[in-house]
Amino acid sequence: MKPTVLLLLALFLTPLHATDHPPAAAIASAHPLATEAGFEVLNAGGNAFDAAVAVSATLAVVEPYSSGIGGGGFWLLHIAEQDRQVMIDGRERAPLAAHRDLYLDAQGEVIPKASMDGALAAAIPGVPAALDHLTQHYGRMPLSVALAPAIRLARDGFPVTEHYRRMASFRLAALNKDKEAARLFLRQGQAPALGELIRQPELADVLKRMANDGADGFYHGEVAARLVAGVRKAGGIWTAKDLADYRVVERAPIRGRYRGFEIISAAPPSSGGIALVTMLNILSGFDFKALDESTRLHLIVEAMRRAYRDRAEFLGDPDSVAIPSEHLLHPYYADGLRASMRKDKATPSASLPGAVRTDGGNDTTHFSILDQDGNAVSATLSINYPFGAAFVPPGTGVLLNDEMDDFSLKPGVPNAYGLVGAEANAIAPGKRMLSSMTPTFVRSDERLAILGSPGGSRIITMVLLGTLEAVDGKPPLAWVSRPRIHHQYLPDVIQHEPNALDNTTRQALQARGHTLNEQQPWGNMQAVVWDKATDRVEAASDPRVEGMARVDSTR
Ligand code: DON
């Protein structure tokens, strides 16, 4: 091609190029060390997917109460070059020896804590396979580079924070039941002092094996043998085949539209995307600007109530049960739900058919990443309860999840989050348990918003409120700090943060028949936005906890 033609072509492409490439990269995560680890990898030439591996692995080390290589998660990817989105499903699976009555005694009653504490509570981890998959299929750097910060922090230690102390105190009894967990995460049976270093040399070793051998370093060989031996000795049911058989699944995300924005969110086995889109579909029928605050909140609550009713009724592992996604996501279905709502009156949940009860916790973790090529990752990872099963197979340093509790243990009996599930989420061998994790993109031609949060069943409503702020054009700080309200069908109450409702609004909601239930602040949202119209990148970390958002050029 002639130089003049090249020049013309370059001139022509320049404006396009400008909007296709953010002026800076951004990472918001629940821990400053994880955000830094992500930037370390971006600065070394990695892309958002390499950074996601670094952030995931670092969170696994420095937030042992929230996620880990003994756990699972969902990584929602936006691959800029192809304008394609995909969800990496690294959710844990039930061991092959699991069965629907695994946690019931001879009388058919749920055995207290059996699905929450100790080896029997642990499902087969998905994080190691997901990190390998991200690197192999989407990253630019070898796993050894992306895992380096995590390996360093596991080996040299990281300082205990206030949040660490809170979480360790909350799970003190469970952690003290397992010698390895207590040795690693407590000091003399107590939460370690602020600033104390937590070193995890065995975990550093497992991460090193993964750096060398990929997922095989975890699911095969010596590590796998130790994991299985440790679990079985402590009363669990894992086999070598469970680990060898684990695979991540690439899934098409759930999609919806709301006021000119495309919503791209987690697919089953998460309930998040479907519930989020259902709520937005319902709300799209109202003109919010014309409504006063209490009416707006009332309608949001009524949408929440209806979406959560459907959640446990219909949703589970898509590889095991048929999910009527098309029906649930259809605008006509939402029209029907909306028609059952009244502006002046709460609908008692008892008058709606179905049965769901959920509750939320304060662990699990979310991060949002944008790189300067416009690639993005929205990822929510979990080991379920704080410090998971509080069980570490000896010689591995791998804290195991208690994600088995996300199954419905017995029809009608609530799990740790108050969840009463249906057939769709019953335990079966190799099945993935239903999740509420809702990593999400909200985008238009002008904007790409990346958001998500931990918080058990309250995750989905947090993402809903964040999405409403984003669609209103507010900055990420507004999404993450917005006072929160939540309704989950049953119990039939509006949970709200202490500062969420003023007196007038309270009274107006009560007058409609709502019961208010004030709760401690919840959630830990991490958000990034790329505003193409103004060529700005912004990020924010939930002020309620101790995360860090950073925006910086990596070029
Ligand atoms: O996948 C889920 O829905 C749960 N295991 C998430 C748990 C959670 O967010 C805990 N607390 N914040």
The strand order across the sheet containing 84-90 reads: 249-251, 84-90, 72-79, 376-382, 365-370, 25-29, 548-552
Q: Specify the residue with its C-alpha closest to ligand 1, atom 5.
A: 384
Q: 165 alpha carbon to ligand 1 midpoint, in Å?
A: 19
275 ligand 1 Cβ < 6 A: no
Question: How far is ligand 1, taken at its centre, from the CA of residue 63, in Å?
Answer: 14
State the distance from the centre of ligand 1 to the C-alpha of 445, rounded, in angstroms: 32
90 and 71 in one domain?
Answer: yes
Q: Which two tokens stand for residue 337?
A: 């739900």
Residue 104, domain member (yes or no): no
Residue 491, preceding peptide bond in cis (omega within 30° of 0): yes
Nearest-angstrom CA–CA distance, 295 and 307: 18
Tokens standing for 157? 């230690």
Those residues with Cβ within 8 angstroms of residue 209's Cβ, 6 or more apart along the chain or in another chain? 217, 218, 221, 222, 223
Kindly report, residue by residue over 369-428, the tens digit of the pLDDT.
999 999 999 999 999 999 999 999 999 999 999 999 999 888 767 666 665 567 889 999
Closest Cα to atom 12 of ligand 1 = 455
Ligand 1: distance of its center to the CA of 269 in Å?
Answer: 13
Please count the structural domains in the chain. 2
Asked if residue 515 has pLDDT above 60, the reply is: yes
- Residue range 138-163, pLDDT digits in tens: 999 999 999 999 999 999 999 999 99
87, 459, 544: which to mutate for ligand 1, most atoms within 8 A of CB?
459
Fill in the DSSP letter of residue 468.
H
| CB neighbours of residue 262 within 10 Å | 15
My answer on whether 272 and 350 are in the same domain is yes
How much distance in Å is there from the Cα of 168 to the middle of ligand 1?
A: 17
Q: Is the CB of 452 under 6 A from ligand 1?
A: no
DSSP 3-state of 278:
helix
Residue 455 Cβ < 6 Å to ligand 1: yes
Placement of tokens 């937005």 in the chain: 280
Q: Is 358 in the pocket of ligand 1 (CB under 6 A)?
A: no
Tell me the best of 171, 436, 526 to mutate to test the pocket of ligand 1, counting ligand atoms within 8 Å of each CB and taking the most.
Answer: 436
Q: What CATH number is attached to the domain comprising 472?
A: 1.10.246.130
Please give the average per-residue pLDDT across 31-41, as a whole number. Answer: 98
Alpha carbons 496 and 483: distance in angstroms, whole number: 8
Q: What does the block give as tokens for 228?
A: 């299985």
Give the pLDDT confidence of 445-473 residue by residue, as tens digits: 999 999 999 999 999 999 999 999 999 99
Taking the CA atoms of the chain, what radius of gyration do you get in angstroms?
23
**Confidence (pLDDT) at 351:** 84
Cα of 453 vs centre of ligand 1, distance in Å, is 9
Which of 366, 473, 488, 349 is closest to 417 using CA atoms?
Answer: 488
**Short-list 133, 152, 146, 138, CA closest to 40:** 146
**Mutational test site, ligand 1, from 437, 460, 525, 544, max ligand atoms within 8 Å of CB:** 437
Residue 165 lies in a domain: yes
- Percent of all residues in the chain with a pLDDT value above 90, rounded to a whole number: 88
**Does 162 share its domain with 262?**
no
pLDDT of residue 471: 97
Is the Cβ–Cβ distance between 407 and 433 less than 8 Å?
yes
Same domain, 261 and 199: no
Let me know whether 274 and 133 are in one domain: no
The rounded Å distance from CA 307 to ligand 1 centre is: 18
Question: 506 burial class (0-12, 13-18, 19+ CB within 10 angstroms)?
Answer: middle
Residue 424 lies in a domain: no
Pick from 433, 436, 404: which is nearest to 116 by CA?
404
Sheet holding 261-265, edge to edge: 254-258, 261-265, 440-443, 447-451, 526-531, 536-541
Q: Which residues contact 431 (CB under 8 A, 6 or more apart)?
A: 93, 94, 98, 316, 317, 319, 320, 407
| Residues 306 and 338 grouped into a single domain | yes
pLDDT at 37 over 60: yes
Atom of ligand 1 nearest to the CA of 457: 3
Q: Which two tokens stand for residue 27?
A: 């990472």
Please tell me if the CB atom of residue 71 comes closer than 6 angstroms to any atom of ligand 1. no
Instruction: Judge whether residue 7 has pLDDT over 60.
Output: no
From the CA of 222, how far away is ligand 1's center (Å)? 30
Helix (H, G, I), strand (E, B) or coil at 86: strand
Angstrom distance (rounded) from CA 528 to CA 447: 11
With CA atoms as reference, report the closest residue to 83 among 369, 531, 452, 448.
448
505 is known as an active-site residue: no
Instruction: For residues 305 and 454, state if they share a domain.
Output: yes
- In the numeric block, which tokens belong to residue 219? 């699911």
173 and 257 assigned to the same domain: no
Express each pLDDT in 297-312 by its tens digit.
999 999 999 999 988 7
In the numeric block, which tokens belong to residue 335?
């029209």
**Ligand 1 site, residue 495, Cβ cutoff 6 A:** no
Q: What's the CA gap between 442 and 330, in Å, rounded? A: 18
Q: Residues with Cβ < 8 Å from 444, sequence gap 6 or more?
A: 260, 261, 262
Q: Is residue 420 part of a domain?
A: no
Atom of ligand 1 nearest to the CA of 271: 3
Among the options 364, 380, 461, 505, which is catalytic? 364
Report pLDDT for 181.
Answer: 98
Q: Considering only CA atoms, which residue is closest to atom 2 of ligand 1? A: 435
Residue 242 lies in a domain: yes
Residues 385 and 475 in one domain: no
Q: Is residue 3 part of a domain?
A: no
C-beta 524 within 6 A of ligand 1: no
At residue 77 the predicted structure's pLDDT band, cuts being 50, 70 and 90, is very high
Question: Residue 380: CB within 6 Å of ligand 1?
Answer: no
C-alpha distances in angstroms, 445 versus 20, 261, 399, 532, 537?
11, 8, 42, 8, 15
- Residues 248-264, mean pLDDT to the nearest whole number: 98
Range of the domain at 532: 251-361+438-543
Contact 509, 297 (CB under 8 A): yes
Same structural domain, 211 and 119? yes
Q: Are residues 262 and 207 in the same domain?
A: no
pLDDT value, residue 63 = 98
> Is 552 part of a structural domain of the chain?
no
Residue nearest to atom 1 of ligand 1 (CA): 435
Helices vs. strands in the chain: H and E counts, helices first: 19, 18
pLDDT at 6 exceeding the cut of 80: no
Does residue 273 fall inside a structural domain?
yes
Interhelix angle for 201-213 vs 221-233, to 10°? 140
pLDDT at 12 over 60: no
Say yes or no: 217 and 302 in one domain: no
For residue 361 and ligand 1, the question of a CB distance below 6 A is answered with yes
| Dihedral angle of Cα 432, 433, 434, 437, to the nearest 10 degrees | -80
pTM of whole model > 0.75? yes
Atom of ligand 1 nearest to the CA of 522: 12
Question: Tell me, what's the pLDDT at 313?
Answer: 82
Q: Which pLDDT belongs to residue 15?
A: 40
| 204 pLDDT more than 80 | yes
Tokens of 290: 């014309």
Comparing CA positions, the residue from 298, 296, 309 lying closest to residue 336 is 309
